[in-house]
């Protein structure tokens, strides 16, 4: 296993890297940026790549991964690749065809994890303003691994997020801990989740930030730091999926 990475064993005996590279991007960003960013992520040490049929970049992500296999950086078995079954394919007889579409775009023989995309897969938004303590405790009690998105806040997704939402990385507590540990607020937010036993997805198209995010394993927060970060929880959700609120399986109104 890559020495930079830490892994969690799933209840089927497979291992998932604790830090994943997210590949969702706004529509205005050209798909070529995804190829470049995914290559950089793999070169930096990311081995967990999170994507989906609905992101419409699986062809580009597959190309990036295969290029890093071809140049000897990784082998296919080194990469933990997640794809997702989109909502229009939820009927049992359509599942295989959706997976096959993803595999064809990727030019892969298999994916490592296949999730049901909303409504309502929701890897559960999870960050210091929404720490999902009850859900995390439940998952741990059932030997379920929680994968978090939105760990750094998600203001850039204009179609989903209220622009007046607080900027998570500007929080003064994160800033103070960043100064204390000589790290960025983003690394503090990522490290907090890892120490809670949460798998985190970090998205970026910026080379400097991608390379910085992999440094999350190079330091540790104290018990006091963790307590301070626990205190930031305000049950605030960036992505509310209001357009789906009438769906019978809409989960965000439920208490976890």
How far apart are alpha carbons 188 and 224 in whole angstroms?
Answer: 13
| Catalytic pick among 7, 53, 55, 114 | 55
How far apart are alpha carbons 66 and 115 in whole angstroms?
Answer: 22
Query: What Å distances lie between residue 114 and 14, 67, 125, 206, 225, CA to CA?
Result: 14, 23, 18, 27, 35
Question: Residues 188, 171: contact at Cβ < 8 Å?
Answer: no
Instruction: Note if 55 is an active site residue.
Output: yes
Q: Which range marks the domain in which residue 159 is found?
A: 122-244
**pLDDT, tens digit (0-9, with 9 covering 90-100), for 81-109:** 999 999 888 899 999 999 999 999 999 99
Q: pTM (2 decimals)?
A: 0.91
Q: What is the mean pLDDT of residues 12-26?
A: 94
The beta strand positions in the chain, using DSSP E, are 7-9, 15-17, 19-22, 48-50, 80-85, 113-116, 147-148, 199-203
Q: Does residue 165 sit within a domain?
A: yes
Query: Do 147 and 102 share a structural domain?
Result: no
Q: Does residue 251 sit within a domain?
A: no
How far apart are alpha carbons 4 and 21 in whole angstroms?
Answer: 14
Lowest mean pLDDT among 39-48, 156-165, 200-209: 156-165
End position of a domain, from candidates 89, 121, 153? 121
Higher pLDDT, 245 or 17: 17
- Give φ, ψ of 172 to 5 degrees: -65, -30
**In CATH, what number is assigned to the domain containing residue 177?**
3.20.20.100
The structural domain count of the chain equals 2
Burial 146-165 (b: 16+ CB within 10 A, else e): bbbbbbbbbbeeeeebeeeb
């Amino acid at each position: 296993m890559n020495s930079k990475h830490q892994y969690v064993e799933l209840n089927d005996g497979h291992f998932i890297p604790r830090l994943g590279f997210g590949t969702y991007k706004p529509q205005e960003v050209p798909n070529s940026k995804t190829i470049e960013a995914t290559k950089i992520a793999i070169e930096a040490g990311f081995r967990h790549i999170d994507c989906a049929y609905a992101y419409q970049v699986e062809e580009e992500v597959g190309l990036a991964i295969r290029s890093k296999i071809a140049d000897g950086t990784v082998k296919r078995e080194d990469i933990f690749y997640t794809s997702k079954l989109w909502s229009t394919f939820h009927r049992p007889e359509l599942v295989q065809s959706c997976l096959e579409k993803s595999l064809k775009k990727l030019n892969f023989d298999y994916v490592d994890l296949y999730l049901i995309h909303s409504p309502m897969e929701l890897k559960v938004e999870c960050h210091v303003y929404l720490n999902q303590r009850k859900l995390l405790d439940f998952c741990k009690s059932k030997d379920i691994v929680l994968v978090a998105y939105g760990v750094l806040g998600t203001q850039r997704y204009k179609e989903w997020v209220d622009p007046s939402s607080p900027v998570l990385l500007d929080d003064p507590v994160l800033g103070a801990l960043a100064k204390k540990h000589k790290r960025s607020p983003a690394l503090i937010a990522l490290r907090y989740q890892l120490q809670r036993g949460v798998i985190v997805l970090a998205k970026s198209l910026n080379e400097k930030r991608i390379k910085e995010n992999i440094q999350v394993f190079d330091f540790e927060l104290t018990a006091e730091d963790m307590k301070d970060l626990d205190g930031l929880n305000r049950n605030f959700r960036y992505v509310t999926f209001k357009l789906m609120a009438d769906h019978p399986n809409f989960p965000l109104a439920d208490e976890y």
